[in-house]
Chain A
Amino acid sequence: MPNHLKEISNHDFPGIIPAPDWRDVGEREHFVQFYEHDEYLIRSVTGFVAAGLRSGESAIVIATETHGNAIDQHLRDEGIDVDAAREDGTYITLDASEVLSKFMVNGAPDETLFREFIGELVRRAGQNSKGVRAFGEMVAVLWADGNTDGAIQLEQLWNLLGKEQTFSLFCAYPMSGFSNAANGQPLVHICKEHSRVIPGESYPSRASADEQRRQIAFLQQQANSLRAEIAERERVEKELRRSKAELSAFVENASLGLHWTGPDGVILWANRAELELYGYSSDEYIGHHVSEFLVDREHCDDILARLDRGERIRNYETRIRCKDGSIKTVLFDSSIFREDGRFVHTQCFTRDISERKVAEEAAQRLAAIVEFSDDAIVSKDLNGIIMSWNPGAQRLFGYTAEEAIGKSVTILIPENAHDEEPLILDRIRRGERIDHYETTRRRKDGSMVEISLSVSPIKNRAGKIIGASKIARDISERKRNEEATRQAKEDLARANEDLERRVAERTASLQEAVQQMEEFSYSLSHDLRGPLRAMQGYCHILLEDAASDLEPEQFSYLKRIGDSAERLDRLVQDVLAYSRVNWMEMEFKPVETEKVLLDVLRNYTGEHRPIPEIVIDRPLLNVIAHEASLCQCLSNLVGNALKFVKRGTVPRIHIWTRRVDEDVRIWVEDNGVGIGKDQQEKIFNMFERLPEARDYPGTGVGLAIVKKAVSRMRGAVGVESSPGLGSRFWIQLPAANS
């Protein structure tokens, strides 16, 4: 074995275990070289080939182009005349891929083709030489292509060939081809196909056998622990992958909003919950500065500064502007994720507290309402123990909150009403409410207060009744008012009754008076008139029977007695008529004025001398009246018109009607003596007679009857007149429709 090879190896690879002595290669040896660096392989092959050429053997190099050229170069450097050797056929170089194409069929080496080509090659190389050395890299090419089966099959074909022909074979595999753990088994196969295995550069080839065994043991242990470590790593890796997947799914799908921002405040990532919370798509949110979304932009700088100082942010309340423009109040929990002390990103958890915020505000409002309510607002549990007590309650009952809370509400209930509380609590337990229950309660100072009480059940979140709220209002004032009102009503009712009783009494006495008046009238007509008629009658008889026996004076006296009696009789009749008009029950209905008037005229005119001239402007409008009373009125007016004319004058009466708003005015115009202005008011008074009328018979009651009757018929009466020019009397009564 040439020493220079050894020397070269040692020289070129300081610190690395030296290569084998290439001169010792057996003539049928099939060895394999594993290498870590190309340089090492090239040195090995060069040594192998050069040693053969120098000892008169021929060499076959089937290599990649790069390797082939490098080997050529190295051989030249070794002083080998490569070109001469190639010329005489002792140095044969072939491209590995080209050779492979000669016998590879469907990815597997074909034995026949292999024998034909390679066998021929080896045979020719051995013809004029002492032996044949071959270097083949085809298996490495196949191996590198991943065709490990093809590589092993090819090694086997070489071995088969080696049994028929004599040559030594150098195979080489780069160690990098076996870095994958999956190739551990093929490595064993490859080693099996070779008579000698030359390990990689790291192997201490020149150590003692003991050292080598120790080394092997060490390597075995190392291999075992590596295998275990690999397995462990695989398991851990799998575990990591799984937990990473789990974690990211968990974080992505968390109901809590999560985001990362860079040190500059730009959002790097956000989970679905956060995007959904604000309504943004990931494009609208991620990549934007977080302050774009903060209502209070300065919060961003504040948070980043605090984080940078090493603080951990907890429950940082801020407001976020959502996509739809609404504002959400959220709490941030933020920390920094650091790598090697470097601020990589923040980790921020977001909790939406908008609803809680609204609820808090509502609760504050409610609390304020309770606080400032004039009513006493108290809550109690189902045992009647006071749980809360507002200032209104203090004002109403006198107890402070400290004094009342924890006590039973019975401190407020008077002794005689202690059974009220169990009844109230029973109803509350049944979920009923009590509205405006009016009762009496006792103040701290023992005085009583009238209250209106409303009690409602208080339920917990689960809907279970846990107590009651009571609202009490002081109604003492109202009660007093009610009492006063009631008293006033009673007084009024009593006064009313009294009044009614008195009215009834008066009515009764009036009715009695009317009755008496009627009886009086009746007796007047009978008892007073009887003697008068007797006087008249006897005067008449005397005047008729004894006229011839009487002196003229006596005759005159008798006549005066008769006339006086007659006038008194008429007066009595008129007074009766007047009182009848006063007291009579009247029923008002539409009356045909013309018909009534014609009846009146019929009674008068037949016996009147001289025959009066009467003009009626037809048609006469109808009125609402009591017919008999209207008849009386017209009769009196017409009677006056006929009576009060100058002696010898033919009475002329003109009668017409005129509409006056809702009324009808009936006019009776005469050509009588007329009435002075100063007398016109008086003539409607009882017994009023004008001086001018002294010569006319009459009682002074007729127009009083007219006035009384018309006023009772809701009408009016009047006169227009001048002395000597006649009079126009009118009566006005409600018009009848039609």
Chain B
Amino acid sequence: MTRDDLILLVEDNPDDVLFMRRAIRQAEITQPFQVVEDGQKAIEYLGHTGPYEDSAKFPAPRIVLLDLKLPYKSGLEVLEWIRGQEQIRTIPVIVFTTSAENYDVERAYQLGANAYLVKPANMNELANILKSFKAFWIDHNLFPSTPFRPRRVRSASSP
């Protein structure tokens, strides 16, 4: 496991954080999770500002799971900001929200979301979604290289 396999979860609801952690475990996702509780913190984290200045301690994530209804800055604002940052604008952002409103879906994709998932009420379903997430985004998807480090070659990761 390397730091640049980090998944950033932007989620203000501690219940949802708890359910997500459980579902992640159930889905056997081994990548590290960093949770930030609001839109402002998400921007600070990604921009290495405020409490997240130390980029060694708070490495850039490989993928962002973004709730939309957030305190201080909404998820859509965070998304728009990310797509405006030269160094991180290619980071895949997956919207993960309770809203199935058309407006949100449209807007999210317009701002450059890579996927839009609706949180299920059922825990089993949540586990299933995260299993699919792992299979698609972690096991099969290729990511663009980050500005901090050349893209890791998958074969080289195995000793």
Query: What is the interface of chain A, defined by CB distance below 8 A to chain B?
Result: 522, 525-526, 529-530, 532-534, 536-538, 540-541, 544, 565-566, 569
Contacts and interface: CB of A to CB of B under 8 A. Distances in A.
Contacts of B145: none
Contacts of B123: 536-537, 540-541, 544
Name which of A533, A538, A565 has the most chain B CB atoms within 10 A of its CB. A533
A565 B126 CA distance: 16
A537 B126 CA distance: 10
Given A525-B101, A534-B15, A566-B121, 11 more contacts: A522-B99, A526-B98, A529-B121, A530-B13, A532-B121, A533-B16, A541-B19, A541-B22, A544-B123, A565-B121, A569-B121
B115 interface: no
A533 B99 contact: no
B98 A533 contact: yes
B124 interface: yes
Contacts of A530: 13, 15-16, 98
Nearest to B69: A526
B158 interface: no
Contact of B124 (A529, A534, A540, A565): A540
B48 interface: no
B119 interface: yes
Contacts of B121: 529, 532-533, 536, 565-566, 569
A565 B123 CA distance: 13
A70 B18 CA distance: 198
B99 A526 contact: yes
5 contacts: A534-B15, A534-B16, A537-B123, A540-B122, A540-B123
Contact of A525 (B15, B16, B98): B98
B99 A537 contact: no
B124 A537 contact: no
A99 B78 CA distance: 178
Interface in B85-110: 98-101
A532 B18 CA distance: 15
A530 B15 CA distance: 9
A477 B85 CA distance: 81
Contacts of B18: 537
Interface residues of B, number: 17
B119 A533 contact: yes
Interface string B51-64: 00000000000000
Nearest to A569: B121
Interface of B: 13, 15-16, 18-19, 22, 69, 98-101, 119, 121-124, 126
Contact of A537 (B15, B98, B101): B15
B104 to A, nearest CB: 9
A-B residue pairs, 3 tightest by C-beta: A540-B123, A534-B15, A537-B19
Nearest to A538: B15
A284 B126 CA distance: 132
Contacts of B13: 530, 534
Nearest to B97: A526
Contacts of A525: 98-101
Contact of A536 (B99, B100, B101, B122): B122
Contacts of A565: 121
A352 B122 CA distance: 122
Nearest to B26: A544
Contacts of A529: 98, 121
A526 B69 CA distance: 8
Contacts of B126: 537
A536 B123 CA distance: 8
B10 to A, nearest CB: 15
A673 to B, nearest CB: 27
A544 B126 CA distance: 14
Contacts of A533: 15-16, 98, 119, 121
Contacts of B101: 522, 525
B21 to A, nearest CB: 11
B124 to A, nearest CB: 7
Contacts of A566: 121-122
Interface-central residue, A532, A534, A538, A544, by most chain B CB under 10 Å: A534
A661 B15 CA distance: 56
Nearest to B124: A540
A526 B101 CA distance: 11
Contacts of B119: 533
Nearest to B100: A525
Contacts of B122: 536, 540, 566
B14 to A, nearest CB: 9
A540 to B, nearest CB: 4
A251 B121 CA distance: 134
A532, A536, A565 — most chain B CB neighbours (10 Å) = A536
A526 B67 CA distance: 11
Contacts of B124: 540
Contacts of A526: 69, 98-99
B99 to A, nearest CB: 6
Nearest to A566: B121
Nearest to A527: B69
B106 to A, nearest CB: 14
Contacts of A532: 121
Contacts of A544: 123
B34 to A, nearest CB: 22
Contacts of B99: 522, 525-526
B20 to A, nearest CB: 10
Nearest to A533: B121
A540 B15 CA distance: 13
B156 to A, nearest CB: 39
A540 B121 CA distance: 10
Contacts of A538: 15
A177 B13 CA distance: 176
Nearest to B19: A537
